[in-house]
Structure formats: structure tokens, C-alpha cells
């Protein structure tokens, strides 16, 4: 399962203010997506595989992928 991180977009925040616009699963995933939880962790918390739902919400503009910074190796910094 992917380790990709997702966070809410402004569109998601608007949708959360009107919970009748999304189904319960999508609404719950948007609530839980905070840019620090992986899809694996979200799936565990929600009790189901959320990869497809997360991809669909991202395609619809509700979620965005968070780029995790890669730490430089000690040898790279010394060069």
C-alpha cells in the first residue's frame, strides 16, 4: 500500500462546511487527511482500503499530494 500523504485543499474545507455534499466515506477521509497520515494509516483508522477514494478525491480537487522533503545524506553535505 502506498505511503503517499494527502492534505485538504481549499475546496475540501468548503465541502466540510457542507457535509451533505459528500458521502460519509469521503467526508470522513477529508476530515482525517492532514498531510501527516499515510494512506496506510488512514486505511487502518477507517477500517478499509482508501487508496481509490483518495485518488478520486484528489482528481476532484479535494485532496492534494504532500511532498515530503528528503533529508540529504551526511556525505552529500560534506561535499
Cβ atoms of residues 22 and 12 within 8 Å: no
Give the span between the Cα atoms of 10 and 24, in whole angstroms: 19
Going by pLDDT thresholds of 50, 70 and 90, the confidence category of residue 4 is confident
Cβ atoms of residues 50 and 17 within 8 Å: no
Is the pLDDT assigned to residue 58 strictly greater than 90?
A: yes
Which of 1-10, 20-29, 35-44, 66-75 is least confident? 66-75
Give the span between the Cα atoms of 43 and 27, in whole angstroms: 14
- pLDDT, one tens digit per residue, over 11-47 is 999 999 987 889 999 999 999 999 999 999 999 999 9
Amino acid at each position: 500500500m502506498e505511503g503517499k500523504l494527502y492534505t485538504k485543499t481549499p475546496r475540501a474545507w468548503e465541502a466540510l462546511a457542507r457535509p451533505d455534499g459528500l458521502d460519509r466515506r469521503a467526508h470522513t477521509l477529508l476530515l482525517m487527511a492532514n498531510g501527516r497520515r499515510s494512506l496506510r494509516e488512514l486505511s487502518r483508522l477507517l477500517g478499509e482500503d482508501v487508496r481509490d477514494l483518495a485518488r478520486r478525491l484528489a482528481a476532484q480537487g479535494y485532496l492534494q499530494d504532500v511532498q515530503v522533503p528528503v533529508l540529504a545524506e551526511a556525505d552529500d553535505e560534506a561535499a
